[in-house]
Amino acid sequence: MAIDPTANPAHRFNELPEETQEFLSQLREDDIETLKDGLRLVIAMRTVGRFMKWMIVALIGTFIGAVMLYENILKVLNWINQSR
């Protein structure tokens, strides 16, 4: 059963499962503030997590690229020394 997003908030509340209605009706004002803070924290953690994932990928890529560059520089130096 889909909830009608255009319905009056009271009618949307009645469309919720009974367990959800009971949970929401027992919330106090400070509980709602805590939930809002928790949602902001989760969003921030997800953002930092994505950033850290790409930082790790970038560091690994930089390391592999540096190793490849070093090996190829050594090859070029060997070619130059062998031609003399």
Sequence letter at residue 74: L
Q: How far apart are the first and last CA of the chain?
A: 82
Task: Report angle CA 7, 14, 5 to the nearest 5 degrees.
Answer: 25
Total-model pTM = 0.59
Q: 19 in helix, strand or coil?
A: helix
Look at residue 1 and tell me whether its pLDDT is greater than 70: no
Q: For residues 16 and 3, is the Cβ–Cβ distance under 8 A? A: yes
DSSP H/E element including 75: helix 29-83
Model pLDDT for residues 28-77, shown as the tens digit of each residue: 999 999 999 999 999 999 999 999 999 999 999 999 999 999 999 999 99
